[in-house]
Chain A
């Protein structure tokens, strides 16, 4: 969707931004059987580790807004 080639920092940040959005943003409805929060948190943590290992991402403060 992006015409301009992303710069290195942006390429690294893109996956992080994607994961943040899919796991922390988006519509939530009540009364649903949300997949176990613990399970989703585990996925989030493992993705964060994966992202952090991509190098400079560790200094991008992988905050997820969960207060953790």
Chain B
């Protein structure tokens, strides 16, 4: 079985880290894609440890590739032929996605507000009104951040979570982005902001689930 970590272009070398279950990392070539994989005699068991190993491999690959699309955890193929067949079907999309993320990193922004549940009808109305304002504020925050990014992706938000956004940026513009988040934070004292990253561009891998 072949387990896939990432699809890259311009990969200089395979990093000196172990793959799932201690397996060595291997590199395969398909067209001009560099595939980072590990081979396993039996099915790999998903575990918390495995998720973190996958993340560690992708992280280690970031500085070694000109462009890198992280694979979602859990992609395994019977053999090289099966992997190549799957790649062939999506070659066009993969090509586009690789060009989009080339040389760029992803930043994550989570904005958390106050969470209040409606206790009765009147509070329910207030709750809905507060929720409506929160959604409008979230749209504004997202648009403002998206304007500073090469691409953006927005996750579902509910409850206390106001915004969960991912922003693709050039590494050089990270300080400016961080500053922009800081400004938004001071404009919205009732909200808590968390800026994370830089991440490998998981949210811009281009293939919708």
A residues apposed to B, CB below 8 Å:
1-2, 4, 6-7, 9-10, 12-14, 17-36, 39-40, 42-43, 46-47, 50, 59-61, 63, 65
Contact = CB atoms under 8 A, between A and B. Distances in A.
A22 B55 contact: yes
Interface of B: 1, 4, 7, 43-48, 50-51, 54-55, 58, 69-78, 82-83, 85-87, 89-90, 94, 97, 108, 110, 112, 115, 155-161, 164, 166, 178, 192-200, 202-203, 205-207, 209
A7 B178 CA distance: 13
Given A19-B51, A43-B48, 16 more contacts: A17-B197, A20-B155, A22-B55, A22-B70, A25-B166, A26-B202, A28-B209, A29-B71, A29-B75, A29-B89, A31-B86, A35-B73, A40-B46, A59-B115, A60-B160, A63-B155
A44 to B, nearest CB: 8
Nearest to A23: B73
